[in-house]
Every structure is written in C-alpha cells, then in structure tokens.
A and B are shown apart, each in its own frame.
Chain A
Amino acid sequence: MKMAWRDSRKNRSRLLLFMSSIILGIAALVAVYSFKANLQRDIDEQAKTLTGADLIVDSRRPLSPAVKALLDTLGSKRARERNFVSMVYFMKGEGSRLVEIKALNGDFPFYGSIETKPISAAKTFKTDRKALVDHTLMLQYQAKLGDSIKIGNLSFVIEGSLESVPGQTGLASTVTPVVYIPLEYLEKTGLTQLGSRIQTRYFYKYQDVASVNRDLKRHQQLLDKEQLRTETVATKKESTGRAFKNLNQFLALSGFIALLLGCIGVGTSIQVYIKEKLGTIATLRCLGLKAREAFLIYLLQVAVIGLLGAAAGAFLGTALQFLLPLILKDFIPVELSMGVSWAAIGQGLATGLIISVLFALPSLISVRNISPLNAIRASFEGAKPKRDPLKWLVYLLIIGFIYGFTYLQMKDAIQAFAFVAGILLAFLLLVGQSQLLMLVLRKMIPERMAYVWRQGFANLYRPNNQTMVLSLAIGLSTLFIVTLYLVQGVLLNKVEVSGSGSKSNMVLFDIQPVQKEPLVKLLKTNHLPVLGQVPIVTMRIIEIKGKTAAQYGDTAGKDKEKSMLRAFRGEVRATYQQNLRATEKIMEGKWIGTTPEAGTVFISLEQNYAAGINVGIGDSIVFDVQGMPVKTKVGSLRSVDWNTVQPNFRVVFPAGVLEEAPQFHVFMTHVAAAEQSAELQAKVLKQFPNVSIVNLDMILKTIGSLLDKVNFVIRFMAGFSMATGWIVLLSAVMSSKGQRLKESVLLRTMGASRKQILTITGLEYLFLGFIATAAGIILAVLGSWALAVFALKSVYAPEILPLLVFLVVIPLLVMLTGLYSSRSVLNHPPLEILRKES
C-alpha cells in the first residue's frame, strides 16, 4: 500500500484525468437514484393526497338502482364529481377555450386540498353559482376574480383561481385546464344531454384501510358486473410508481451512457499511465517485486482513485438532484421533497469503484507481463503484450457488467440485450471505422502532398496514435446526442405532418341534429368551408359471438376471453357512412355501404380493435344503441390512419341502420388566422353553447410546449454525456500530449514555424474529429431511422442543416481542444521544453 501511494506521487495529474472521466457519469446516476428514492418516498407519504379519498369509484354510464343504493352507503363521508370536456367562455374578454369541467359536491378532497387563491375560495365556490378557474387560464384570458364565465347556458362568477388539484400534474393542466363548479348547477348548464361524455366519480372517506378492503371485497362482484372502476390509495400509489418507471429508466440509462463514455476515459488514462510506468515497474521487478505485487500496486491506485472519483461524483450528484425536481416538476403529481439518499450514494460509489477497476483491468493485467529486462532496454520485445487469455475474461466481465446494470434498470432481459447489443455494435463499428481510416491513410497519402498535411494525417496512424480512442469518444458522444436530437425531430415531425396543408384545422363537436342546418349557415356566412360532417352514435356492446359479458365472466380463466370482457366496458362511439373515407383501407373482408331493410348489418371494425377484442370476419356483435339492441356481423376489417385531423372510428356502420338513432355530429372546417378562429369560437359559443371546438393550432402549440419540456429533460441528461465526451476527449488528447509536445518541440528546433506546428496539430484533430463525428452522425441517422420507421411508424425526413452544424461544430471543438493542448510549444522557447523533456 505504501508503495502504491509513493508510486502515484509523480503522476497524480494523470490519475486525476481518469477520475474526472467518471465524475459526471456517477453524478448523473446518483442524482437520478436520489430523485427516484425521494420520489418514491414522496409518493408513499403523499399517496392519500394523490387520490384525495380512501376509495374512488368511476362510472361512465347510468347506474342500476342496486348499484346506486350501494354507492350511497359506502364510506363514512361521501362526495361526488361529474367531469367532462366542454367550452368555457370568458364574458369580459370574449375568449373561449376547451376545458375540463368538474362539477363537485361534498367535502372532497378528504386528504390534501384544492389549492386556490384566495384559499377560502376552495370552500366558498360551492355555496352559489361560482367557479374556480385554472390560474394559467385566467392569466391567458386576463380574467380576474369576480369576472363571469359561461358554461353551456349558465354563467358563473369566478370565485378563485385554481392553483393545484389533488393528483394532477402541471402538465395535465396545460393540456386540459380545469374549471370547478358546484354540482347542483350542472343540469342547468344544459351540457348533460345525450352524447356528452360525462364521467361520474364517487369519493369515499373511511375510518381505516381495512374497512376499504372489506367493502371492496364484499361488493367487487357487483361493481365488476356494472363495469365500475375502483381506485384506492394503494392502487394509486402503485400506478403512479409505475408511471414513473419509464421516466426513471430513461434518466438512469442516460446517466449510464455518460458513465460508459467515461469508462473509455478510464481505459485510456490507465493505458497511458501504465505505459509511462513501464520503466518504474521493470526497475521494481529487477529489485525483486513479484508480478502479482506489481499488479496489486496499480490495482490499489486505480481502486482508490476510482473511489475518490465516485465520491466526487456522488457529491455532485447529490447536489444536482436538487435541480431535477425543478426540471421535472410539471410531470409529477406529488410535491417533491429533496434529501440526501444514502442508498443512492452507496450505489454510486459501488458503481464507480466497479467501473474504474473493470475498465482499468485490461491495462492492469498487462502489468503482470512486464519483464525486468525493460529496465535495461525500453524497447525489449518481451514488453509487447502476448495474447493474454485473462484479457478476454475481463472483456466478458465488462460486457456482463453492462448487461447486468442495464437489466437492473429495465428489468427486461430482451430490452437490456437490445440496448447492450446496440452499444456493442456502435462500439465495434466505430473501432472498425478507425482501423479502416488508419489503413486508408497509410496507403493513400500521396508523397507529393504538402509536408504539414502529410504529417498531420500520418499522426493518425503512426505509433502511439490516439485514433481509436478519440474515434470512440467523439463517435459515441455524437451518436448519442444526434440520436436524441433526431428522435425528438421525428416526434415533432409526426405531429406537424398531421396538421399541415389546407386540410381541416378546426373541429366542432357535440352538434345536435337540429343544430346542423343553422351551424352550416353560420360557417358559410363567415366564409368558412364545411370540410366534413360526421354523425356519431354512442352505444354499448352487449353480446359478442352470442355471449354476454356475464357469460364471459364465468369463463374468464382464459386470457383471450378476459380480453373480450374489455369490449363490454365503456361506450363505443360509432359512425355510419356509405363510402369509406380516404383515411380508411379495407384489409380483410368486404365493405358493404348500405343495409337493405331487415337485411344483415355488416359493420367494419378497425383491425387492431378487432384483434384486441378477439373477433374476426363473420363474428356477431349485438350493440345496445340507447336502449335498442342492434344485431350486426363483422363484414370487414379496416386500417385507419389516426394521424389526421378528423374523427376516426373503431366501429363503422353502413348507411340505413342508425339514421334514426339519437346522435350528434362533428364538423370540420379550416380557419386561416388566429383572429378568424377566435371570432368563430365566440359566435358558435353564443349561438350554440353546447358545441365544443378544438383548434388544431392550439393543440399543436400545447404539444409543442409539452415536447419543449420533454426536450429540456432529454437535453439535460444528454448534457452529461456531452460533457463527459469532452472530458474523455480532453483526457485522450492530454494522454498523448507528452509525445505530441516532444514532437512539436523537435520540429520547432529543426525550424518548423508556428504556423506549421499549428497546421499539423490542427489538421490531425480536425480530420479525426470530422471522420468520427461523421461516423457518429451516420450511426445516429440509421438508428433514428429504424426507430422512426419500425417503432414510431412515422415518416423519416431528418433535417440536413442541423446535421451539418453538428458536423462542423464538433470537429472544430475537437481541433480547438487539440490545439489548446499544444499551446505550451508555441509559448515557450524550445530549449526550456527540451530540458524538461530530457
């Protein structure tokens, strides 16, 4: 141990470089682990405020008297909320917006609170025709307390601004802002009529958890039969934790990639360090040091420095975790607390130590083979590493570790395998690319080329070059960063493609049959086209293949039959039409557009929906259309392009069946400017208060701001990889600095000018940076193409300009780093450096 300490004295700066390679990776992991631990603790502690009640029962349809009676007896305290999406009209500013209306009675929430300004508004709004309006919505429409809003036929006075609702994230409120009104006024708004998708939520407070479970157990069968969904504090806790699994996985894997990049830094620094120590080790071997002892000296140094690096990373990570909640607060439904997570720090320290030792091992085990003869002659042939079977074992261990770590994050063997295989493939391709580059340069550099160019290029394949290491560091960093960028582009593109062109960008829905004519007239007088009119009929499935839900329930042991049970739950929104639309394509069977009187009704199902409920061509389905049973047979299966701005349906009826059924309509139109859109919304809302309007531009804007937030998180995590990639680059450049410096000084001594030295060094790094960046970009394009085409099923059209920017900026950064390391040659007289070198 004493020897390990003494020996490290002169080269600690090299070891510091090694240490700095892992600091950021460990910091990222510790920050993510701490965040995960704190989030889990917060979810556990605040679980009751997530639900606001001990038990919630959800229903989307009228209840049977038996269930009604049951629901009135549960719990010690009760509250009820009916919620749906509708338009709200700000009377003073004359603006309107699609919101989620929550009509509430009782003392919900029983735990936590609806946070309002003023605080008292959360209680007082229930006493009269008053409303609580989402605070961002109020800002957006410059509404003040005391102003009026109109919902359906009724106006409400704004009693308070809604700051937060139990269990709702900031993001959710951006997508559909909430407006609370007292339940007793809901009927009078006229919005509870047929066709409105209203969800009713029953909230219950219990004395203890055991009572909740006892009640659930006792009444589960009835609740299931009526297809009512229940939620308890425990199930909410579980589902919230599950929702954050993907986020945590993404964060942890991003951190791990930064750490893997750092591992390349570890490998490089230790390789150079051991090379520098060759003489010392040989001398010690001459003096009687055993090979195993030599190995242990350096193993100990690496372990200690690795642990110090991990400790610094853990410290930084613990500090950084205070940033994560700020970045992620919009995604999280609980109030985040921050604290030191010793488990996360422990994990970080262990990971840092294992990674340092593991990635240093390929160089460390070669210490065993250093001959004492090296002390006499540095070029002793025996110093060349023989094929060491232990090295292969180490490589296997490294791959095993990466797989194990990934598996721990993903808990899915195949996904973990795909991730590791992807990284390994990228690694091998980059190594292959660097070898090919060296081969091509060696063979292809023409002798007539100017000396500085030849020297710059030749440095890339000459002995002790850093081509492979730099290619890996630059290539992998580029690959990761550009892939993130491109995938994010694909996601945005997917949204924008759907909304481009002069197709409809405004959808009006919940139109009653009697409102059709006057609404068309209104659109026409405003010079707006009616791009589509679609009837919608709501219904329920009551029989599939001759069996009811109850009959399937009895045989519900099998998975297939279980999946069929889902079909009976909830409402089906179907349309009827004679001809297929452009977004639909028959994949199986035949489309029959009209049904003769008393003939068989052949419907068409969307193919994935049909597969989900386990029906095929010829199967029978009976629908309950507002109390009237309608027998049908599946006549065809369709594919539907859902990425279009128009209503699409899973179930389509032919003409001649549903025309007389209670229905509502959806219109599509195209508005050119925001003013026109606002004007139309105001007019429609005044004349037809029940009609809701969705403005695609606003949806795009909302999705844009949502993606901006996601992007920021992605960029934040990619930042670790970028910074680590740069540190590894710096470390690789610094590793070869000694040799480069010596060469440059000798060239200077022989008369090379400043320009010549700068050109040689600059060309070397610029060219290497360019090739590695190009390789990284090509791999990223291939990877993101595969992701776009196969996973996201999207059109792939990456923008060229940003890729070119990457291709210019990264090599320049590499070159500047290389030139920076050579600056001492230019700033000092050659003799001064020659003396130091000797």
Chain B
Amino acid sequence: MKARLLIVDDSMVIRNLIARQMLDERLPPIDLVGLAGDGEQALAIATARKPDFITMDLTMPNMDGEACIERLAKVLPSARIMVVSALSDKTTALRAISKGAHGFLHKPFTEEQLVAALLELMS
C-alpha cells in the first residue's frame, strides 16, 4: 500500500520542492493526497483524506502549524507529522514537538536532507 502524504506550507515554492522529491527512488511509493497553504486547509484535507504522513510548516496564515498539529492530534492521531521550519523558530518547533510532532526538518534543506527526514518519518 502506498504511503499517503499531505504537504502543508504557505509557500508554493516549498510545496513544489517537497512534492517534486516524492518520486525519489530511495523513498517508498508515495501517494500525494493534497497540498495545503494554511492550517485550516490542512485540517480539512487531513480529515477528508486521512494521510499517513504530513509535512507541516509552522508560520502560516489563518491557522498556524502549531495549532494545526494540536487539532490533528485529536482528529487524526494516527498521522505522523514532520515539522518543516526555519531554525529561527526554535521555540515554536519545540512546542510543536511537545504537542506531538514526530519529526523535524529545518529550512533551508537539501534534497538529501529532505529524503533522509522523510525516510526517518516513515520508518
């Protein structure tokens, strides 16, 4: 069964960067269930399409990543979430981890780092 992934980031550039990496042969087959530009969209997509894995930006309009992780923990506790954030957001990232994030990837990331982080998240 393919791993179901949801990408959440308010930047289209970053969303595309991550999405493009999905085809990397080192990764297991991945089904991209959606791209969300903010926390509210993410929550809606996650509720409807139940992804197994989520990459989550923290600084976003409408609902930020931290709040979204908190809600997802209740709505979809089975999803493993990887925070993708700049290191200047350490406090937020730490809070996100304590609220249930399973992985952390700091921006900017290289393709190698992204693949490694996804493998770790999916292991």
Binding between chains A and B: no
- On A, residues with C-beta under 8 Å from B are none
